[in-house]
Structure 1
């Protein structure tokens, strides 16, 4: 499934018609970085005009001046394998929600207030689109993707001293995972790094004026923030017990097709059965097996969302 954004992918759900629709991602980023930033006085005046008069033009200026913040925050989530254009699109939705609810009399700048809304919208998008994650391109990598988080949790539970357990796998633990899933240790390390979402590219601060800022000034290490901890637990549940529970809603044939196509762990590196092998076994076409697979995954996604 190709998740590369179409030319109109950056045309966000924008009820005000404020955010520019630019097909090329590099051109879009270049354009938003040229948007003028607002002083505290200008920001307060525009926010009051929106709050008191419903001034859409004022809202537009607030949104446009903070689009670069969305671009910067979106870079934190590139490790999930989703297109940056889609992440920016969802972040822009969060920014518009923040602008709509922003109260300038609370003594907080919009850039600080909007970060919560931008991240919340991006987080929701990632959790909704777990099936679209493109970090796994081979059957062996798909097995690794679906099992790595739950296996890490199992290794943690087996540790004699939980206080010494690290978020990253030790070399010995990497070998254990690689051996059980029949993949190379390097692939385990790469997948763990990509799933951690730790690659962050930040814009440098170009001037020292009081009103100027770079996103790095507002992006703190929030790995131990309660919301992030809960999100990590939710992801671990979905990729472990959640998958098991979602499989239970399927009929026997659909379940076997999903297990063979996505979750099979064999002694060799061949993975599960192909569409044609399953088609021959059930006496139907490969296209019919694909349709059953798509319907089953859709049903599993609904079960995960309802959990």
Structure 2
């Protein structure tokens, strides 16, 4: 190989290596543990082999980068439900003894928090008597603190007085121990809650497809779980899951009743609807036919009017703007009949009748035609009296009547009468 060719090949090889290094800079260290392995070259120093192997190495790096991008994109598209289930699945379940230990820690933490509140209340009471510089606004806040025994931060005490109060609080090991117990109690409550998140998921699955998404059901169930944690009494001897199930179910069912419908229905009415549907199912299974209103009244003890009201409540609402199909631009409202709108067939008949009348009236003279239009309201739908027409044409009412009769006699010609009679029969049949 001549020197010029060798120098060109060497430059291409260096450019390929520079390009590979720039590609590797885009990748994270966690995705490629050893980037140099992708560029490892077992060839000798021959310039021709270096030129041939630069391209495969570049393809390897590009493929690795594409795999990394696809992995990141797949993570972004991952179902949030699966992510949530995977995370809560990592938390170990508790035994009955573990639940009792956590409940005891929560109870001790609650007592410790109350003890701290008592200490703060006593110091606040003493400070209220001694400090004459308290403003009128601060004194009611201090009195409220003493009365309720709450922590100072929870009662919005002014920052100046809170600083004075903090100087008076005893800095003893007992107080530090109480604060530690409060922290342990909070941690125990969190642990008891997190360890039972899978219980919420198992219960939420039973209420799917009832108007709320699965994640919403889980969220509402978690709120019921937190309430169960606050009210759990380990002294009764039952497992926490047995107690929490009822709180979780109540939270989910209340959320479905309150949020699943566009128009909210009271909870007691929802329960009545469920009872009525249960009676209907049992009747159909035993008799093979749908029950009548009288049958439902006998079986449920409700009046027929109340049953009708319950059935109307059980109907779901739908938006008229909802698309009728996936690719069609038509909405649901486009396919609902408007009872106030006229029939297209009738409107067509009226249009042809109007044209036929216009052709028939064209055979009359101008005054006869105008008098008939005014007397029968053929143009605006408002008939005029003989007096109104006589004033318009400056003639007597009797003369108007005579002209009207004469014009009608002309329209009774057999050729015109047969055509108009046919339209009249069609309109009467449509009505």
How high is the TM-score relative to the length of structure 2? Answer: 0.30
Higher helix share: 2
Structure with larger Rg: 2
Larger RCO (alpha carbons 8 Å, 6+ apart)? 1
